A and B are shown apart, each in its own frame.
Chain A
Amino acid sequence: MKGYIYTLEVIFAAALVFTATIFIFNLLSPQQLTPTKTIKESAYDALSYIDASGSLRPVVLARDEPQLESMLSRFLPVNVGYETQICRESCSLVNVETNRTVIVVDYYIAGLRDTYAGSKVRLWAWQKF
């Protein structure tokens, strides 16, 4: 009878060690590289590139957000969700993901040639999957 109690003890100890091992190695397992920096750089570069190629300012002046989002879709990775607003002071958060870490990039546009715009493009970006 005593022997079976020892066996039960060993099974109990084994279960404890097994659980502890899984817990510790899950806790210590290397975290995936944070995509935050990459997303932020991609978002800013995309706006900067569209501006440098001469397409951003006419769109901002026309306040054409769908066109801006269509242009951005060529430059942002497919796993990045985004929402844009062309605004001045307060920008609405409509359609911005609420359950993810969201990165915000502001890109200021003074004008196009002799037309004053005084606007900013606010780009929210997040990792979709």
Chain B
Amino acid sequence: MKKKGVSHIDYIIAISMMIIILAVVVGFLNSFLSNLRHESESSASSTDALSVLSGLLYERGNISSRPFELGTKAYKIYITLNNTQNYYKNQSLVAANQTSELVSFNYTQLGYTASVNSTAIYNESNSSVNYNINSDIISFTANIASSGSALFTVYFDADSNFTGMSVPVSGFDNITEVFYPAEELRIVQYKKIIELNKTSYSLVKNMSGIPDFRLRIVDMQTNQTFLDYGSLPPSKANVVALQRYVLYQNSTAGIRQGRIIIQTW
């Protein structure tokens, strides 16, 4: 007797194997397309985040046209004081401790176009120094021991306006100060941070073309968040986070070290 059924086993095996192969190919294809989608989403988010960070310190437009360009051109001047005989204005005086050495300067006389109300002054230990504004003259005092020296850093820009920063100062101007040429630096400007914070999130999303984001400025020294703008990242999504270190201007014209963190998804 001929067993006809047995001769079909090879065909059954062949068909089964082809089905398995098809399943494997479909599996690979599905995984490939899924990875591709995730990678393109991550890539787009990374490009958005990089683009925000790259343009952050520029000022090519205003907040309504370029919402993430928060920068301004600021300057810093170093001022040194040497409490030695050579630097005394009155050469007949003997070098002695100067507890209230008065330092005065005027941006116009130094050759700069500046807003006097943008001034921030720091001593060598990076502590803020109180100053007085009288018309366009800025004055502050220094305490310098005989034969000692002091270094001050003055920051200013052309278009910031912090009123109420002036305090009365008094002293005697015995020493000739040395002013060094201004160095340009780019900082994140306080008034632009405020403008961005006031702008509606959906408007900024539409202008920038970024689907969703969160932008934060965190102070490097205190670790406190100075700006938190945007929406909270979802718990499940491809979130790209990049950060950049910047100098930013705080609410009292102070120049602070901070980092800007952008999360996009």
Interface residues, chain A, with chain B CB atoms under 8 Å away:
3-4, 6-7, 10-11, 14, 17-18, 21-22, 25, 28-30, 32-33, 37-38, 41, 45-46, 49, 52-54, 75, 113-114
Contact = CB atoms under 8 A, between A and B. Distances in A.
A29 B13 contact: no
Given A17-B25, A33-B42, A49-B245, A38 B32 contact: no
Given A18-B24, A52-B247, A10 B14 contact: yes
Contacts of A54: 76, 153
A6 B28 contact: no
Kindly list the 9 A-B residue pairs having the minimum CB-CB distance in the complex, ordered from nearest.
A3-B10, A30-B39, A10-B14, A49-B245, A7-B10, A52-B185, A25-B28, A113-B180, A14-B17
B257 interface: yes
B182 to A, nearest CB: 12
B35 interface: yes
Contact of A113 (B20, B42, B78): B78
A46 B245 contact: yes
Interface in B23-58: 24-25, 28-29, 31-32, 35-36, 39-40, 42-43, 46, 50, 53-54
A21 B24 contact: yes
A53 B18 CA distance: 67
B153 A11 contact: no
B13 A7 contact: yes
B50 A37 contact: yes
Contacts of B76: 54
11 contacts: A3-B10, A14-B17, A14-B18, A30-B36, A33-B42, A33-B46, A38-B46, A38-B50, A52-B186, A52-B187, A113-B80
Nearest to A51: B185
Nearest to B16: A10
Interface in B1-23: 7, 9-11, 13-14, 17-18, 20-21
A53 B221 CA distance: 13
A21 B78 CA distance: 67
Contact of A29 (B7, B25, B32, B186): B32
A32 B43 CA distance: 9
B129 interface: no
A105 B234 CA distance: 36
A52 B76 CA distance: 9
A41 B53 CA distance: 10
A45 B180 contact: no
B141 to A, nearest CB: 22
